[in-house]
Amino acid sequence: MKRITIGLMGIVMLIALAPAATGAIKIAKIRFNPPGPDTPITNAKLNAEWISIKNTGNSAVQLNGWRVRDRAGNVFKIGSLALPGGAAVRIHTGSGLDSFPNHLYWGRSKYVWNNNADSATLRRPNGRVADRCSYSGGGSAVTC
């Protein structure tokens, strides 16, 4: 009985001394169908379409090499970006000047996110899936 008690106390102490879990990097929202007609395609309309990636933790996380992909295989690779704790970055479809850490630009000349249904996958640099978000039906955005 004494060994069991000591063993349990050791486990409890290890749990208490373990570092707090860091927050996760998540897909927060996809704005797939901004207001107004889709055509003619302009850079302003492309940039009204975006995906938001959020750091739900308290500490900054380096996102260098993370990737966002849609169902059709369009991939955006995040460059050197330390996303502060609690902050989110929007990855706009069109072109623009990146403003760290709030706005990044994919540089595409066509829409990425389908209006009727699509799926976003966020992958770590090692290829492991960090998060997924899918939507179908109408509307203009989905909160993931």
Worst-scoring range by mean pLDDT, 11-20, 60-69, 131-140? 11-20
pLDDT at residue 52 tops 50: yes
pTM (global) more than 0.85? no
DSSP annotation of 99 reads B
For residues 60 and 84, is the Cβ–Cβ distance under 8 A? yes
CA distance 86 to 78: 18
pLDDT at residue 22 tops 90: no
pLDDT of res. 101: 86
pLDDT at residue 13 tops 60: no
pLDDT of res. 14: 33
Pairing of strands 88-92, 103-105: parallel
